[in-house]
Chain A
């Protein structure tokens, strides 16, 4: 089912590109044609960005999840001051456009802390902070969607706050948040292309570099787009699979509990 959908999407893209190729002289596929030497070199160069894109995505997703989770605890605490800090954090990092925060961290922050940042950690930091604001909202919403009865049952059984969260609330909240988390993963993957502006050699940066030497932006950016398409399709297939595996029993029991 998933594989079929993936294949269909790829096929349509390839057909579109081929159609364009056959119908006009504006296309010059030789730059990325795997059958010719120069095309192969270019393709390898373009694809050498993939590991960076993947690595950056993984780091950003990991950090923004961890950070978002910790921040969400503030939003779930009963103290007013914790709520204020939570609101402040979320509003600030959600409101700054990610491109602006990339520039700020890369060019601005070193002046403030007097230490230069490499492009990769700078981009990672900026995107992770941006993503963590969204993750915090997702986690908080997930926990708050759990029925009050679950907290009350835990309490009358004598479970403490920590055990209640760990064994009863978070596992259920995580399942409910999975679609939103998966969505965030896809968004983060695409957002890593922004760090091309500060010179991380990820997929888009490779495209930019090749485009200025080959003067073939149409073919090169088409291939860049294709790379993102493939990566995103793989990620969303994985997320759907995870959702099915983790979500099935929740759905069964959810029905009975809310009947």
Chain B
């Protein structure tokens, strides 16, 4: 029997006031699958993945994450206890804590690890993103690329079953983009299930199992990267790709 998908969205609709930002979204992500989402600004990419980690609530349809059905409606349900990792464009590290403390806080408070256990776990992930020597620094003392890698390590410390990335390299200087992308690629190679919103098309070709193009709150096109980049079905996708790739 096939394993249940990690994320399953069926006929999801969401409005901000009058504005419908998600229209009839159907999406299924199975364990180990890597989905890359692209699309023009305002097309609802962020909203889509923010619904999956319950930073937003949808109003219609059903979303199940890790076999848990998420509540609809205006009020926020209980959070998912770190089961879904989220990496933000703006890093959102805690600026008043050392890197190490950024990583140990949630495992200690949510998973009840002892300080020693949490620090061991944190160091393990800092090694993985290759900045163990920055453990005692404050986030503000690191470069943007290093900060984003800390943010990734911070999510990984909760040992999530799914990682979400919302334009993880958009706030970075060009020379720091590749170090962050490489970290994500390694994570993908280890079999992490992930959904990544990005316009880094080289990266997308490299990691994606499924490419998704969104426009106006809809999923316009979904395909394996080979087909997606060579012969997309929709004019809008073609147009978008030619704009992106010509840069």
Contact = CB atoms under 8 A, between A and B. Distances in A.
Interface in A204-259: 249-250, 252-257, 259
Interface residues of B, number: 36
Nearest to A161: B79
A252 B141 contact: yes
Given A159-B106, A256-B147, A153 B92 contact: yes
B82 interface: yes
B110 A158 contact: yes
A167 interface: yes
A168 interface: yes
A13 B53 CA distance: 63
A105 to B, nearest CB: 39
B147 A249 contact: no
A182 B141 CA distance: 28
Contact of A257 (B53, B91, B105, B109): B91
Nearest to B94: A168
Interface in B75-102: 79-86, 88, 90-97
A149 interface: yes
Given A172-B95, A172-B96, A156 B55 contact: yes
Given A250-B95, A253-B95, A157 B106 contact: yes
B12 to A, nearest CB: 19
A159 B140 contact: no
Contacts of A149: 88, 90, 92
Given A163-B109, A168-B94, 12 more contacts: A147-B92, A153-B151, A156-B53, A157-B106, A158-B81, A167-B94, A167-B97, A175-B96, A249-B96, A253-B95, A253-B139, A259-B171
Interface of B: 53-55, 79-86, 88, 90-97, 105-106, 109-110, 138-142, 144, 147, 151, 154-155, 158, 171
Interface of A: 147, 149-150, 152-153, 155-160, 163, 167-168, 171-172, 175, 249-250, 252-257, 259
